[in-house]
Chain A
Amino acid sequence: AQSVTQLGSHVSVSEGALVLLRCNYSSSVPPYLFWYVQYPNQGLQLLLKYTSAATLVKGINGFEAEFKKSETSFHLTKPSAHMSDAAEYFCAVSAEGNNRLAFGKGNQVVVIP
Chain B
Amino acid sequence: DTEVTQTPKHLVMGMTNKKSLKCEQHMGHRAMYWYKQKAKKPPELMFVYSYEKLSINESVPSRFSPECPNSSLLNLHLHALQPEDSALYLCASSPGLSQETQYFGPGTRLLVL
- Measured CB to CB, the residues of A under 8 A from B are 9, 32, 34, 36, 41-46, 49, 51, 88, 90, 94-101, 103-106, 108
Contacts and interface: CB of A to CB of B under 8 A. Distances in A.
B90 interface: yes
Interface stretch (B11-19, B79-87, B98-106): B98-106
A49 B48 contact: no
A74 to B, nearest CB: 14
A104 B107 contact: no
B42 A42 contact: no
13 contacts: A32-B99, A43-B90, A44-B43, A44-B90, A44-B92, A51-B99, A90-B42, A94-B99, A98-B56, A98-B97, A99-B48, A101-B43, A106-B40
Interface residues of B, number: 27
Contacts of A88: 40
B41 A99 contact: no
A78 B53 CA distance: 40
A104 B97 CA distance: 20
B101 to A, nearest CB: 6
Contacts of B103: 46
B22 interface: no
A105 B99 contact: no
A94 B101 CA distance: 9
Contacts of A95: 99
Interface string B61-94: 0000000000000000000000000000010101
A18 B31 CA distance: 37
Nearest to A30: B99
Contact of A99 (B31, B42, B90, B106): B31
Contacts of B41: 105-106
A101 B97 CA distance: 11
Contacts of B48: 98-100
